[in-house]
């Protein structure tokens, strides 16, 4: 019996990349080209080699990070094929049931409750910064749950998850039998511990091999059907769009809809929800960017993006992305900037 494995790869959860190397994950920037792509590719290659060793006849790989062009094609082993995730009208729209196991490489945990506090995770988010939570049938899910549910609808089990420890724990809560490789973790004091890259990739290969060998004994991840889909955004303004007939308003930051399955829920999110809220989000991002630039001009002695002031913003819960700045957060940031512009007041913000 021939086996086919699918690898869905992201970058935030790959080995060797911590929060202090966030520039590595920004597509088409210098650090991404020279540093980030190599590490993502190396983790994917390790998973592909493990899957082939485990009996996979073919490994189809999808680059799910940002613009979808981080994996170096020339590095892939024979038997592994890089497929274009955005070649279809909807993500994964061209897939069918002719696959046997799903491997998630470089996964990250779902969105944290606070936009500025990652909690125990490294780079947590669900799709992007505006999303505070996504629920399938009342269960909070991130991209791991979205992918596991999508492929579960097609009868494909989740075999492997690699990423930070929070992502792996999230996966095991959803699918206790999944193989996992926690390549890094955030410690209680906020510091991060990363496995040596060679060690991490050896583990990825061995557990990918085990996932493929055991694929026939793994059950697909399923959700109740019909499936209630609810999306909570970071600011009430983000839901200030005209609701289409299939969508309803749950509260000031949450909208919902019904889907036939987890497969249809993912398609509904990308093709139904996103087109509604993203124009509002883009406007808010532009407004926040103009405000940040005006703040920089008002306090030129404070380096907004510098490590020291960024750390101060993190301690104050103000490490927010454009689009997520509420009026209260803006007032607090302005007060923080004013203190930092005065050396005598700055001391209270150092910790």
Classify the C-alpha dihedral 299-330-110-10 as positive or negative. Answer: negative
In a domain, 289, yes or no: no
In a domain, 62, yes or no: yes
Same domain, 262 and 315: no
Q: If you average pLDDT over residues 112-133, what whole number do you get?
A: 92
pLDDT in tens, 243-259: 999 999 999 999 999 99
In a domain, 291, yes or no: no
Q: If you average pLDDT over residues 127-137, what whole number do you get?
A: 96
Same domain, 15 and 161: yes
How far out from the chain centre does Cα 307 lie? 23
In a domain, 138, yes or no: yes
Q: How many domains does the chain have?
A: 3
Closest CA to 107 of 186, 48, 174, 160: 160
Q: For residue 43, what is the domain's CATH number? A: 3.40.50.10780
C-alpha–C-alpha distance, residues 112 and 163, integer Å: 16
Same domain, 163 and 192: yes
pLDDT in tens, 6-19: 999 999 999 999 88
* Residue 22: per-residue pLDDT: 79
User: Nearest 5°: phi and psi at 147?
Assistant: -70, -45
Same domain, 147 and 178: yes
Same domain, 67 and 171: yes
In a domain, 246, yes or no: yes
Helix-strand-coil split of the chain, %, nearest 5: 40, 20, 40
For residue 347, pLDDT beyond 60: no
In a domain, 53, yes or no: yes
Q: If you average pLDDT over residues 14-35, what whole number do you get?
A: 88
For residue 91, pLDDT beyond 60: no
Q: What is the three-class DSSP state of 134?
A: strand
Name the domain boundary from 175, 195, 217: 217
* Domain carrying residue 265: 227-280
Query: Token pair 């005006």 is at which residue?
Result: 294
Q: If you average pLDDT over residues 73-95, what whole number do you get?
A: 74
C-alpha–C-alpha distance, residues 126 and 273, integer Å: 14
In a domain, 285, yes or no: no
Same domain, 247 and 307: no
Q: Looking at per-residue confidence, does 56 or 28 come out higher?
A: 56
Q: If you average pLDDT over residues 89-113, what whole number do you get?
A: 79
Same domain, 212 and 328: no
How far out from the chain centre does Cα 22 lie? 13
pLDDT in tens, 150-164: 999 989 999 999 999
Same domain, 274 and 303: no
* Residue 88: per-residue pLDDT: 47
* Residue 23: per-residue pLDDT: 81
Around Cβ 240, how many Cβ atoms within 10 Å?
Answer: 12
User: Nearest 5°: phi and psi at 39?
Assistant: -70, -40
* Residue 351: per-residue pLDDT: 47
Name the domain boundary from 187, 217, 247: 217
* Residue 176: per-residue pLDDT: 96
In a domain, 75, yes or no: yes
C-alpha–C-alpha distance, residues 90 and 211, integer Å: 28
Q: If you average pLDDT over residues 42-55, what whole number do you get?
A: 98
Same domain, 128 and 241: no
pLDDT in tens, 220-242: 999 999 999 999 999 999 999 99
pLDDT in tens, 175-187: 999 999 999 999 9
pTM of the model: 0.92
Same domain, 74 and 160: yes
Same domain, 160 and 231: no
Same domain, 268 and 309: no
For residue 329, pLDDT beyond 70: yes
Name the domain boundary from 194, 217, 240: 217
């Amino acid at each position: 019996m021939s086996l086919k494995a699918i690898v869905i790869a992201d970058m935030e959860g790959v080995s060797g990349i911590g929060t202090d190397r966030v520039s590595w994950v920004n597509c088409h920037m210098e650090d991404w080209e020279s540093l980030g792509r190599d590490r993502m590719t190396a983790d994917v290659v390790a998973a592909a080699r493990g899957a082939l060793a485990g009996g996979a006849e073919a490994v189809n790989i999808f680059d799910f990070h940002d613009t979808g062009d981080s994996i170096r094609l020339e590095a892939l082993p024979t038997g592994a094929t890089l497929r274009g995730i955005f070649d279809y009208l909807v993500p994964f729209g061209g897939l069918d049931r002719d696959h046997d196991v799903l491997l998630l490489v470089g996964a990250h945990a779902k969105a944290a409750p606070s936009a500025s506090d990652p909690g125990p995770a490294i780079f947590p988010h669900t799709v992007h910064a505006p999303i505070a939570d996504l629920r399938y049938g009342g269960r909070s899910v991130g991209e791991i749950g979205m992918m596991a549910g999508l492929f579960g609808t097609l009868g494909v089990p989740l075999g492997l998850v690699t990423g930070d420890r929070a992502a792996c724990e999230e996966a095991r809560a959803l699918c206790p039998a999944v193989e996992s490789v926690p390549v890094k973790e955030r410690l209680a004091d906020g510091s991060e511990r990363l496995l040596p890259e060679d060690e991490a990739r050896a583990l990825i290969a061995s557990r990918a091999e085990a996932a493929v060998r055991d694929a026939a004994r793994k059950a697909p991840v399923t959700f109740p059907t019909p499936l209630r889909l609810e999306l909570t955004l970071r600011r009430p303004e983000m839901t200030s769009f005209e609701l289409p007939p299939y969508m309803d308003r749950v509260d000031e930051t949450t909208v919902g809809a019904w889907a036939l399955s987890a497969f249809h829920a993912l398609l509904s999110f990308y093709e139904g929800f996103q087109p509604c809220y993203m124009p509002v989000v883009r406007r808010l991002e532009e407004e926040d960017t103009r405000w940040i630039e005006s703040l920089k001009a008002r306090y030129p002695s404070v380096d907004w993006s510098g490590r020291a002031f960024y750390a101060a913003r993190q301690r104050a819960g103000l490490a927010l992305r454009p689009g997520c700045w509420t009026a209260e957060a803006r007032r607090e940031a302005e007060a923080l900037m004013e203190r930092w512009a005065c050396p005598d007041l700055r001391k209270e913000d150092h910790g």
